[in-house]
Amino acid sequence: MSNIEALEKRLWSSADNLRANSPYASNEYFLPVMGLIFLRHAYSRYLAVKDGIKASLPERDGKTRPLTREDFSRKGAIFLRPKAQFEYLVNLPDNKDRAQAIINAMESIEEDYETLRGIPPKSEYLELDNDVLGQLFRTFDDPALKKASGDIFGRIYEYFLTQFADQKAHDNGEFFTPVSLVQMIVNVIEPDHGKVLDPACGSGGMFVQSAHFIEHMHEIPQERVTFYGQEKNPTTIRLAKLNLAVHGLEGNIQKGITYYEDHHEMLGKADFVMANPPFNVDEVDAGKVKNDPRLPFGLPGVNKKKAVSNGNYLWISYFYSYLNEQGRSGFVMSSQASSAGRDEAKVRRKIVDTGHVDVMIAIRSNFFYTRSVPCELWFFDKNKPADKRGKVLMLDARNVYRQVTRKIYDFSPEQSKNLTSIVWLYRGQKERFLSLVAEYMDTTVREAGKTLKPLEGFKKGIDTLMNVMEPFLSSLSKDDAHGETVADLKESREIFGKDIEAFQNAVKSANAAWNSAGRDNEGLHRFSEVIAPVAEKSRKLGRQTDQIYRLALRLIELCEKKLNARENDFWAKKEINQSKRPLDEKRKACVEQLRQVRYFYRQARWLQERFPDAKLRDVEGIVKLVGIDEIEKNDWSLTPGRYVGVALEEVDEDFDFEETMRAIHAEINELNAEAVELAERIAENFGELRV
């Protein structure tokens, strides 16, 4: 869905109006809104699997048995009775009590899912106006959503969590870990069986992504893993259980402060541990935890207040000690921890000496919605092969990112795969690496095959526009102000037509070559040479598309401003104006499709250039396999940047100046809007003070 970002913002803006139409502050309307998002997301997943489930049910005497919750759980969805289905709620007439209807819907879900009893918001809706609830129902019943495919509501659910985190509407936003970081952790530890523990589970994102990982293996998560969580905040526990339920999952999540409580008694029992704990906590009572068996490396220092000087290494010790003898853990940690000195360094040395530190990944700043500081991902593996016990894979991913908003960065799906593939090479999984390169090559060929329709669409759009303008242009002298632009446009169109034909011929040849290409490393490198000209031609065609469009707009402007076209009967003003927007849409579609060709080719080349033999090697500024001797010489530091060096700055050959200027303009508008909002808030505060 190409306009998902705009849809998310529109839905959020509508829901955010609730603050102005309810007695709730931002930290209070959090749950009512998330409750409605839960119902809508649950219904979306329900519909996505319902027909498939019904078709698979056995018949007896021409009848099929009723649908059950187990049917939906197996498909990663939640069973909903008619009164809990969003379509029923959105179609309620205005004279019906919508708040009570929501309560009835939530109660019916609780009846079917015992673990959700008392979890969904209910009484909170009684404070909301019936018309406001009706508007919210209609907002989340957006027509664009009905046409959407894929897990669109999953993304919107995550988007709303993100926005609430950004507002710090609940628990300072610490309940939410960015999805791309969770996916990276899951990709490295691969939690595909047994007991999965998150002792700081927040909204349950680690569990959901683990389930997705298992689903991609074409397995049923509930049959492979059991989720155990601990969380201090009761509201966050409710959110986590709703998050699990909407994906057809269940988890044993207990309320507790992990520093002092271990409700699951998981010491040495977990197959996988994953978490995003609070950073740099300095208020943990040292006396209460000094004899904790979960701290096999001792306390990381005690301050004058008899508190642990920094809680980071408490968490790190927990994540290690919870693992069984074959266990793996992956977690987010403050970047300070990997090089911290004094008592923390002593604990770190003991951990390194175990030989179980597996991978360290450095992440740049601004990946979190409420923390601007950089962080690192730590990974332990108690079942490391003997030849890797004395080594740690250092990955510096600080220069790998995409910018999502002015404030936020993340990994694109391809960036996440590329980083993961380096871990595959480290583990000797060459075939997985080559499969990813082949996947990118295959996608490049397929995306190139999709370019004909948008290219022809844009070409026809330009032809149509020129035909409409031709009567007026024919009435002019070639020496008039438009002459040079007309000549440039004519020449550009002719070259464009020839280049489209040449490009399509190159695509056909590449497609034939790919069908016969070997999928081994040598074969993929050979094919890379075949597809390279196609990728380059796609970039050239994209630039030509933009150039022709700009020339057409310039010609229209010259005719209207310098040649008085609007006063001429030959000037089809209405048709020309009406053609601009459709032509721009065709231009965008054409340029975007052409970009996809080069984008996926560049992903394949990123891997091939850095690992030409499909084997792990040190790459300056990105990765290095470091021995314990070298770590000892560097004060037992586990900071990747200390070992991998500095990468040379890469020149972005696809830099789009116009797109960058549009982004800068949008950022200026956003800053101006924030300035206006801030000024209004200041004025309001002064008014309350009667200053």
pLDDT at 670: 55
pLDDT higher than threshold 70 for residue 19: no
The answer to whether 362 and 374 have CB atoms below 8 angstroms apart is yes
Strand order in the sheet with 357-363: 251-255, 225-231, 194-198, 270-275, 323-334, 375-381, 357-363, 391-396, 623-627
The domain ranges of the chain are 4-160, 175-428, 440-615, 662-691
Q: Do domains 4-160 and 175-428 have the same CATH topology?
A: no
Kindly give the residue spans of alpha helices, DSSP state H, lying in 283-364. 286-289, 312-321, 342-353
pLDDT tens digits, residue range 440-457? Answer: 999 999 999 999 999 999
Within 8 A by CB and 6+ apart from 122, the residues are 102, 103, 106, 107
pLDDT higher than threshold 60 for residue 405: yes
SS3 396: strand
| Pairing label, strands 402-403, 391-396 | unpaired
pLDDT at 1: 40
**CATH superfamily assigned to domain 175-428:** Vaccinia Virus protein VP39 (3.40.50.150)
pLDDT at 651: 47
pLDDT band at 334; cut points 50, 70, 90: very high
* Residue labelled with tokens 């891997």: 607
pLDDT band at 166; cut points 50, 70, 90: low
Q: Can you give the pTM of this predicted structure?
A: 0.85
Q: Which of 153-157, 390-394, 505-509, 543-547 has the lowest mean pLDDT?
A: 153-157
pLDDT at 2: 43
pLDDT at 528: 97
pLDDT band at 177; cut points 50, 70, 90: confident
More confident residue, 254 or 675: 254
pLDDT at 659: 52
Q: Which helix (H) or strand (E) holds 473?
A: helix 452-474
pLDDT higher than threshold 70 for residue 269: yes
SS3 281: coil
Convert 110-158 into a string of H (helix), E (strand) and C (coil).
HHHCHHHCCCCCCHHHHHCCHHHHHHHHHHCCCHHHHCCCCCHHHHHHH
pLDDT tens digits, residue range 57-116? Answer: 888 877 888 888 888 988 888 999 999 999 999 999 999 999 999 999 999 999 999 889
| Pairing label, strands 63-64, 59-60 | antiparallel
pLDDT band at 161; cut points 50, 70, 90: low
pLDDT tens digits, residue range 412-426? Answer: 999 999 999 999 999
pLDDT higher than threshold 50 for residue 532: yes
pLDDT at 669: 60
pLDDT higher than threshold 50 for residue 352: yes
SS3 599: helix
More confident residue, 125 or 20: 125
pLDDT band at 350; cut points 50, 70, 90: very high
268-287 average pLDDT score: 93
**Residue 218 Ramachandran class (φ > 0 left, ψ -120 to 50 alpha, else beta):** left
Q: Which helix (H) or strand (E) holds 523?
A: helix 521-562
The answer to whether 418 and 606 have CB atoms below 8 angstroms apart is yes
The answer to whether 348 and 340 have CB atoms below 8 angstroms apart is yes
Q: Name the phi and psi angles at 533, rounded to 5.
A: -60, -30
The answer to whether 390 and 628 have CB atoms below 8 angstroms apart is yes
Angstrom distance (rounded) from CA 673 to CA 548: 34
Q: Which helix (H) or strand (E) holds 549?
A: helix 521-562
pLDDT at 17: 67
The answer to whether 334 and 346 have CB atoms below 8 angstroms apart is no
Angstrom distance (rounded) from CA 43 to CA 102: 14
pLDDT band at 144; cut points 50, 70, 90: low
Report residue 636 as tokens. 């037992």
For the beta carbon of residue 371, count every other beta carbon within 10 angstroms: 16
pLDDT at 150: 47
Within 8 A by CB and 6+ apart from 690, the residues are none
Percentage of the chain with pLDDT > 70?
85
Angstrom distance (rounded) from CA 102 to CA 36: 8
pLDDT band at 24; cut points 50, 70, 90: low
pLDDT at 370: 63
pLDDT at 44: 85
- CATH for 4-160? 1.20.1260.30
Q: Name the phi and psi angles at 571, rounded to 5.
A: -85, 110
Per-chain mean pLDDT for the chain: 87
Q: What's the residue count for the chain?
A: 691
9-21 average pLDDT score: 68
Angstrom distance (rounded) from CA 373 to CA 279: 11
